[in-house]
Amino acid sequence: MSVRTLRIDGRDVASADGATVLEAARDAGVAIPTLCHLEGLSPVAACRLCLVEIEGSGKLQPACITPVSEGLVVHTATPRLREIRRTVIELLFTEGNHVCAVCVANGHCELQDRAVEVGMDHARLPYRFPDRPVDLSHPRFGLDHNRCILCSRCVRVCDEVEGAHVWDVAWRGEHCRIIAGLDQPWGTVDACTDCGKCVMVCPTGALFHKGDSEGEKHEDPSRLAALQRARHSRQEAP
Amino acid sequence: MSQLAKQPKLRLATVWLAGCSGCHMSFLDLDEWLIELAPRIEMVFSPIASDTKTYPEDVDVALVEGGVGNSDNLALIHQVRQRTRLLVSFGDCAITANVPGLRNPLAGPAAVLDRSYLELADGSAQWPHAPGLVPELLERVLPVHELVPVDLFLPGCPPPAERIRAVLDALLRGEQPLMEGPEMIRFG
Amino acid sequence: MSGLRCCASAGCLARGSGALMGALETAISRGQLGDQIQLRPVGCLGPCSQGPLLALDPDGDLYAGVDPQDAETLVAALARRLHQSSDQATPLEWAPARGERLDLRAPFFQRQRRIVLEHCGLIDPTDLEQAIAVGAYGQLERVLQGWSPEQVVTELQRSGLRGRGGAGYPTGLKWATVARMPGARKVVVCNADEGDPGAFMDRAVLEGDPHRVLEGMVIAAYAVGADHGFIYIRAEYELAIERLRLAIEQAVDRGRLGAALFGTGFGFTLELRVGAGAYVCGEETALIASIEGKRGTPRPRPPYPAELGVGGRPTLINNVETFANVAPILREGADWFAAIGTAGSSGTKVFSLTGHVRRGGLVEVPMGTSLATVVLDMGEGSPHGSAVKAVQTGGPSGGCVPADRLDTPLDYESLQALGTIMGSGGMVVLDQSTDMVALAAYFMAFCREESCGKCVPCRAGTVQLHGLLKKILAGQASQADLDQLETLGAMVMDTSLCGLGQSAPKPMLSTLRYFRGDYLARLEAP
Amino acid sequence: MPVPSKPESFMALEAIFLRHHRSPDSLIEILHHSQKFYSYLSDDLLRHVAARLQLPLSLVKGTASFYHLFRFQPPARHRCVVCTGTACQIQGAPALIAAMEEGLGLKLGARRGDGWASLSEVRCLGTCSDSPLVQIDDSIGRQQTVAGLRRWLQELEP
């Protein structure tokens, strides 16, 4: 595997050819915020948090899918990018009903963490307070659409890892919603294997274990990558 | 001591709009520091430390807890803004509408009133109606800054006592508090 | 021999050209004149706002607003002339009781140069023989029998043709890129998802001369090495879909589509894919997803469709009008084409001229023609004594040109410099009565509704921008709201995943640029 | 529980499935035909399509719901549509929408519970020279006036 040398925030970074700017940055200890990205799932570049400036490119590029190349000069934390990230987080907070105080994921929520990182002490945009349902039909898990940020991790993990494709995104634009089966109660979908991976990868409290109370959801989405690696090595073993 | 010591005491107010008073409780959690605070401020208006019913003029700092949920809240917040130099949105309800705002998706107060006063009534089910006495609910509970300009945001549900202290400390020193990092701005 | 050509495009059909044709047919057959008066349904004749339109051959006269009740007298007058004189150049002694004979010396006709539309309005679009008689598939045959694919690509590059779908990417370069891609199974796609509100150029071309588009596609397929193609058309265009289906069937039957074309080893098959109401599917990657039967959500580029398109195959995507330019370029030569228009924008452009304009319809003019020529001379300005305030081009991805800038030439760069785009050719004239803030809110509502919902800035940002615009319209906004509108607009443009979000704030920013006073007048007093 | 699909009731689609070799990329084409034959996409119908194309249910519903033209309930008896293309918008569409809302007692985008009428907008019918346009069932109103629309609505069969 050949190596590419690039510059991230003024530091020279060596990275394997084929790696993304996000991977190269993380290896070098440069934190680029993400939400829709999760190691082990296909990238969708939808949340736009990981946009970076690349010298010579007029457009901002999502680090999660931009491959490294020799001599690339990347800036990950310019004032312009900080402002963009805060606005993205504000758009997410104002679009749904994110009430940290009563959320199962309070204290263990990627959205909440990102809000702190981008310095959001309040939302400068007005809250929209949409009317969204909660699905408690599954015996073990629940789905609170109020807390969903449409990152589509659940859709991807169920399709790409579990192979059940219980979830998909339906409708469009502001009306987009995660659906199970034919937009039916989750508990009535035969395809669901009750594996709980969707709950594990959900960055917020949208998908949760029933019975968990405020602040009691302690999932670790990064377990997915470990799971993938373990499966992979077993398949490769004789 | 700093400049402030030479000046008149800081005129502090705390205001309680649509919230659970938890932020005020957290303020009380400052315990013995309150004793340190007492000589440095003049508490000019507060549901927990003052009997004054009218919001006074010439307030230096107001900690406003709660969203704006009814006609009284609305009138008071405009008064607070007019008469206060530094308005602090104190806690998540003031900043996001938070728990009181959970009624907002229901499109108007009728659903809440029905549920509370009719469906769950033990007897004599009726909507409260006493114009001039019982304030009318607004269509939505709004964060304070959607109605009047806010100078400082102090998040948390409630903001931990240490966070409140860090802010007041800075203000007493005449400094702008540094609102960043999980200790200072995490919601919830 | 006399000929009557009656417009059978959607606009004139809606204005009763069907009944007119029926009445003419009855009158002709009653007079047993079928072999002397040829009646043909044809494509768009131009000034749609005056339809139904009827053209008379060999005179070349064009009648507007003719009533079916006039059919009898018209046919009688034609019969009289046929009997009286062998010289059909004698002016016809007839005037419609309602409607009028149009003055073809008017700028609306004189300033046009019809290349894309050269046969539109002349031939019956449902009759392949008529198309062939005026040269359809002639260039395909010539190319297949003597040209290498490289020669075709070079000719296109030399012509300077740029994509007519909106962005103006050089067509020849696009073809060359796809041609260079490895693999024998490439795909050619015609983007007929004409979604800009107020635009109907592609509809008119497909309804009036569908074989022209098919021929362009097959030539493109030969040039880039594709064996299969799709036409993706919006479902709202029922008549165009019907005519395309028929045209494809006819072309297959006559060996213009399918295997071993013109006795060569080259073959090309074509499928029609009908959209289902999603503006974003005009975006290339969303269009590919939709052709593949999926949600029409765009994906990041690169990889570009030229590398990874339909079914993972290298794919060439061009718009209807782009393909319609191919045959004439090859017929007349790249130099001929490059000499039309301007240095950077060669050829002609078809516009649908609508809105507050006296004479609206379909016009084709050389690139570089000024907006004033099109709007004020050809369109004859705004009706009811009102003056033109601005002209909107490029639909929800474009912007407004204010009245004092109407001297701007219609080419890609000049329009871009004004903060708008050429777009696909929708040109909506706005008179003084137009509320520019309301117009901005209208386009934002459109983008909000058409956002696919995948990326956050477009999904949630358009909603917030629309909210701010509504607040301004309601007179409840402050200067801070206006500042936020501009800041958020810039953010949505910078960060959205695809062209829809990246251009959604453009109509608003354009109205702010030229009509800021309209906004300021609505702000709350501080 | 899912209702078992009833293939016998959707026989008309078999030729379409065959023509497209039951290929997943024909989903939208199949949905078009499904709606044409059965007037709307019921859950049973979607389940049937999913089974025949061997696609997950959520993918079929997710795809169908992306596109405006697919319906998931029977169409109203009177389908009232206002064109809100740019040319119509600046020449009176907002007033026509208001007249429709008043005359039908429906908000834009709504369908009356008993299925009598629905009110929606379309973004450009493509015949802008006749703007503003409305469409009620299969008739198009050109250069539509508010007064004319009010009369038209009064004449709609109950």
Same domain, C304 and C408: no
pLDDT of residue D2: 42
Average pLDDT, 10 consecutive residues per value, chain C (526 residues): 92 92 96 93 94 93 94 94 76 90 96 97 96 98 97 98 93 98 94 90 96 98 98 94 98 97 96 95 97 97 95 97 98 98 96 94 97 97 93 95 97 95 93 95 96 98 98 96 98 97 97 97 86
Inter-chain Cβ pairs, chain A and chain C, closer than 8 A: 82
Contact C276/D31, CB-based, under 8 Å? Answer: yes
Instruction: Enumerate residues 167 to 196 of chain A having a beta carbon within 8 A of any beta carbon in chain D.
Output: 167-172, 179-184, 188-191
Instruction: Please give the structure tokens belonging to residue C197.
Output: 């509100």
Domains along chain B with CATH numbers: 3-104+138-185 (3.40.50.700)
Chains that touch B (3 or more CB pairs under 8 A): A
Same domain, A73 and A105: no
Same domain, C310 and C367: no
CATH of the domain at C496: 1.20.1440.230
List the C226-233 sheet strands across, edge first: C269-274, C226-233, C186-192, C315-319
CATH of the domain at A93: 3.30.70.20
| Domain-ending residue, one of A77, A106, A131 | A77
Domain assignment present for residue A171? The answer is yes
Dump pLDDT digits (tens) for C469-490: 999 999 999 999 999 999 999 9
- Given a cut of 60, whether residue D7 has pLDDT beyond it is no
Domain assignment present for residue A233? The answer is no
- Given a cut of 60, whether residue D1 has pLDDT beyond it is no
Per CB-CB distance under 8 Å, the chain A contacts of B143 are: 122-123, 127
Nearest C-alpha neighbor of C67 from the set C50, C47, C52: C52
- Percent of chain B at pLDDT > 70 equals 96
Q: How many CB atoms lie within 10 A of CB A213?
A: 10
Same domain, A115 and A73: no
Domain assignment present for residue A98? The answer is yes
Measured CA to CA, the distance from residue C387 to residue C432 in angstroms comes to: 6
Domain that holds residue C20: 2-104
Residue pLDDT tens, chain A, 238 long = 699 999 999 999 999 999 999 999 999 999 999 999 999 999 999 999 999 999 999 899 999 999 999 999 999 999 999 999 999 999 999 999 999 999 999 999 999 999 999 999 999 999 999 999 999 999 999 999 999 999 999 999 999 999 999 999 999 999 999 999 999 999 999 999 999 999 999 999 999 999 999 999 999 998 999 988 888 888 776 5
Same domain, A158 and A72: no
The DSSP H or E segment spanning D138 is none
Burial label for C58, CB within 10 Å (0-12, 13-18, 19+), is exposed
Contact A179/D58, CB-based, under 8 Å? Answer: yes
Per residue in B49-62, is it b (16+ CB within 10 Å) or e — as a string?
A: beeeeebeeebbbb
Tell me the β-bridge partners of B16. B65
pLDDT of residue C309: 97
Measured CA to CA, the distance from residue C257 to residue C267 in angstroms comes to: 7
Task: Among D46, D47, D59, select the one facing A165 at the smallest CB separation.
Answer: D59
Q: Please state the φ and ψ torsions of residue C41, each to the nearest 5 degrees.
A: -80, 130
**Nearest residue on chain D to A178, alpha-carbon basis:** D62
Nearest C-alpha neighbor of B75 from the set B47, B11, B83, B52: B83
pLDDT of residue C88: 63
Domain that holds residue A35: 3-77
Virtual CA dihedral for A53, A54, A55, A57, nearest 10 degrees?
-100
3-state secondary structure C129-194: HHHHHCCCCHHHHHHHHHCCHHHHHHHHHHHCCECCCCCCCEHHHHHHHHHHCCCCCEEEEEEECC
- The answer to whether the complex's ipTM is over 0.90 is yes
Domain assignment present for residue C123? The answer is no
CB within 8 Å of B83: residues ≥ 6 apart: B55, B56, B57, B58, B59
Domain assignment present for residue A228? The answer is no
Domain count, chain A: 2
Domain count, chain C: 4
Task: Among B99, B105, B187, select the one facing A129 at the smallest CB separation.
Answer: B105
Same domain, C325 and C199: yes
Chains that touch C (3 or more CB pairs under 8 A): A, D
Taking a C-beta distance cutoff of 8 angstroms, is the pair C166, C416 a contact? no
Same domain, C225 and C139: yes
Same domain, A29 and A112: no
Contact D129/C434, CB-based, under 8 Å? Answer: no
Preceding amide of D94 cis, omega within 30 = no
pLDDT of residue C167: 84
Domain assignment present for residue C38? The answer is yes
Q: What is the mean pLDDT of residues D8-19?
A: 91
Measured CA to CA, the distance from residue B158 to residue B21 in angstroms comes to: 9
Dump pLDDT digits (tens) for C52-89: 999 999 999 999 999 999 999 999 999 999 888 666 66
Domain assignment present for residue C477? The answer is yes
Per CB-CB distance under 8 Å, the chain A contacts of D58 are: 165-168, 170, 179-183, 189
Closest CA of chain A from B160, distance in Å: 13
- Given a cut of 50, whether residue D4 has pLDDT beyond it is no
Collect the ranges in chain B with pLDDT lower than 70. Answer: 1-7
Same domain, A133 and A199: yes
- Radius of gyration of the CA atoms of chain B, in A: 18
Dump pLDDT digits (tens) for D64-123: 999 999 999 999 999 999 999 989 999 999 999 999 999 999 999 999 999 999 999 988
Same domain, C187 and C207: yes
What would the DSSP string read from start to end of C470-508? HHHHTT---HHHHHHHHHHHHHHHHH-SSHHHHHTTHHH
Same domain, C142 and C54: no
pLDDT of residue C197: 85
